[in-house]
Chain A
Amino acid sequence: MASQHYIQPDDDDDLDDLSIPGYTHPSLSPAEAQSKGKSRAVPDQLAPPSPLSGNIGSGYRAATKSTVAGVRVETRYTGEETLDEPVTATITRDLLSIYHKLLQVLYPRRTGSGREVLRDWDLWGPLILCLLLGIMLSINAPHSQSLSIFTTVVGIVSVGSLVVTVQAKLLGGRVSFFQALCVLGYCVAPLDIAALIACFVRLVWVRAPIALLAWAWCIWASVNFLDGTKIEQQRILLAVYPLLLFYFILAWMILIL
């Protein structure tokens, strides 16, 4: 239920800001609320952490969604005071989370705790992977084309993920938009590995099988994810086909550069 409060008639003259329903305390704007654990603990009267749901043993708590002043706000709380920790601890925690998600996407474990990791989507990991791919592909290109290659790669990865996500939703899949973007971005990781190898190996007969293998790995990882979105069986190929195209064009660029 949204945290709405009905105005009692005798509160009409009350000018106290904090009792106006939906008022957002200045220290908790929606933008801050979405950054994981970097704000102070949530003030009591606004969005009390709702009862936990099922993440046994992990440090994460389920994101609580509420409607504050008509705006949907997602609050995540890592369970500790994070304002006073050293910067290295903050960065390490984020990097570790990226690493866990990467592992879950590339080498999914069947046990329950692994899958929960993907619920906390973030877009830093896909951004880093996409930029790495663009850099690796444009380093070895002829000087006049390297900028356009970088632009093309970044453009293809971002627009491609967007288009595939929208397509999956249009075909009737039950998938959260940003979570799908996040997973599809992480699925580009095998191509990063292939591009790294291709930086050093010039022989076509070695690059082709490696690029093909990386392509197959990407497809397998993303199909694993799409299987959970409950698209009808006779349409699943329609949802997978854009992925085939999207990762193939990236693998092709790795191969020919």
Chain B
Amino acid sequence: MAYQSVEADEVTFLPLHPRGYYQPPTPGANASFWNLEYYQKYFDVDTITVATRCYTTLLPLSPSYLSAHLTPSPDLYGPFWTLTTLIFCLYVFSSLASSLTAYLSGAEVDYNFSLLSIAVTLVYSYGLGFPVLLWVVLRYFGVSEWSVVEAVAVWGYGQFVWIPVSILCVIPVPIVRWVLVGAGFGVSGYFLVANVYPVIATAEAKAVRGLVVLVAVLHAALALTFKVLFFSYYIKEIGESARVVLSDS
């Protein structure tokens, strides 16, 4: 008896995709960890989604501020490229600031290329390494609903505010730079703490809540490092002549 295919066999019961076509099973469903397809589900975002997630980190009062807005799933595109953009911005605008102050004071410009590799190490280890470490520690204490991708996403998107800060820090006035760095620290620190504290609070041991203090302290250290390395490096050396130039005009 040969199998007779019936018309009902052609009907699939796959859910209709919002864009109006039947979507085949996700390609990464059966891929192993070493396959590229395994990671495709973390890049399933549109341009508008990434942009929205980025600027939402600047608005503490928005309803989608907490990482609940990372539904249906957090993505890895935003965090990685935010961090990379941050590195480039830090380097480009600090060298711009150095040439600006040198131009204002007539001094010779000296570009420090080791700053680029320092920036890479610093930003990637803080933005990618620390959330993984924190996730491992929290896993040890029994917090299991928080995935490592969510952790990386929170940290990556949270550093978005440093990009406008580094653009504005080209202004060679010291007090303006301190204010900007302080504001950047406040906005990004609040985003991190607001997203991480609910997760830490679900651990059984109350002492684990001390971890949020560690998060805040490390973030303050990062802000200070940014200020010293990228936003004030050049103004310190030419401080005297720059003040002279500014008071003349």
Q: Mark B100-124, 1 if CB is under 8 A from A, else 0.
A: 0000000000010110110000000
> Is there contact, CB below 8 Å, between A238 and B77?
yes
For B116, give its contact among A152, A234, A236, A242 (CB under 8 Å): A152
CA of A232 to CA of B99 in the docked complex: distance in angstroms? 41
B241 at the interface (CB under 8 A from A): no
> Is there contact, CB below 8 Å, between B113 and A145?
yes
A81 CB, nearest partner CB in chain B, Å: 40
A99 at the interface (CB under 8 A from B): no
A220 at the interface (CB under 8 A from B): no
Known A-B contacts A234-B48, A238-B47, A238-B50; A170 and B40 likewise in contact (beta carbons under 8 Å): yes
Count residues of chain B with CB under 8 A from any CB of chain A.
22
Known A-B contacts A152-B116, A234-B46, A235-B47; A170 and B99 likewise in contact (beta carbons under 8 Å): no
Which of chain A's residues have a CB closer than 8 A to the CB of B88?
245, 248-249
B36 at the interface (CB under 8 A from A): yes
> Is there contact, CB below 8 Å, between A252 and B48?
no
CA of A232 to CA of B95 in the docked complex: distance in angstroms? 37
B81 at the interface (CB under 8 A from A): yes
A166 at the interface (CB under 8 A from B): yes
B160 CB, nearest partner CB in chain A, Å: 14
Per DSSP, are chain A's interface residues mostly helix, strand or loop, or mixed?
helix
CA of A234 to CA of B50 in the docked complex: distance in angstroms? 11
A40 at the interface (CB under 8 A from B): no
B65 at the interface (CB under 8 A from A): no
For A245, give its contact among B43, B50, B84, B113 (CB under 8 Å): B84
Which of chain A's residues have a CB closer than 8 A to the CB of B81?
241-242, 245
> Is there contact, CB below 8 Å, between A235 and B40?
no
B149 at the interface (CB under 8 A from A): no
CA of A235 to CA of B51 in the docked complex: distance in angstroms? 12
For B47, give its contact among A152, A172, A237, A242 (CB under 8 Å): A237
Which positions 137-173 of chain B face chain A at CB distance < 8 Å?
Answer: none
B163 CB, nearest partner CB in chain A, Å: 12
A249 CB, nearest partner CB in chain B, Å: 6
CA of A85 to CA of B36 in the docked complex: distance in angstroms? 42
CA of A53 to CA of B77 in the docked complex: distance in angstroms? 38
Most buried by A among B45, B46, B114: B46
Which of chain A's residues have a CB closer than 8 A to the CB of B233?
none
A31 at the interface (CB under 8 A from B): no
Known A-B contacts A145-B113, A245-B88; A171 and B43 likewise in contact (beta carbons under 8 Å): yes
A149 at the interface (CB under 8 A from B): yes
Which of chain A's residues have a CB closer than 8 A to the CB of B116?
152
Which positions 201-216 of chain B face chain A at CB distance < 8 Å?
Answer: none
B29 CB, nearest partner CB in chain A, Å: 15
For B36, give its contact among A149, A166, A232, A236 (CB under 8 Å): A166
B92 at the interface (CB under 8 A from A): yes
25 pairs across A/B with beta carbons < 8 Å?
A148-B113, A148-B114, A149-B113, A152-B113, A152-B116, A166-B36, A169-B36, A170-B36, A170-B40, A170-B43, A170-B77, A171-B77, A172-B43, A234-B48, A235-B45, A237-B47, A238-B46, A238-B50, A242-B84, A245-B84, A245-B85, A249-B92, A252-B92, A256-B99, A257-B111
Binding site for B on A (CB under 8 A): 145, 148-149, 152, 166-167, 169-172, 232, 234-238, 241-242, 245, 248-249, 252, 256-257
Q: A148-B113, A238-B45, A248-B88 given; name 13 further pairs at CB < 8 Å.
A: A152-B117, A169-B36, A170-B36, A170-B40, A171-B77, A172-B40, A238-B47, A238-B77, A245-B81, A245-B85, A245-B88, A249-B92, A252-B92
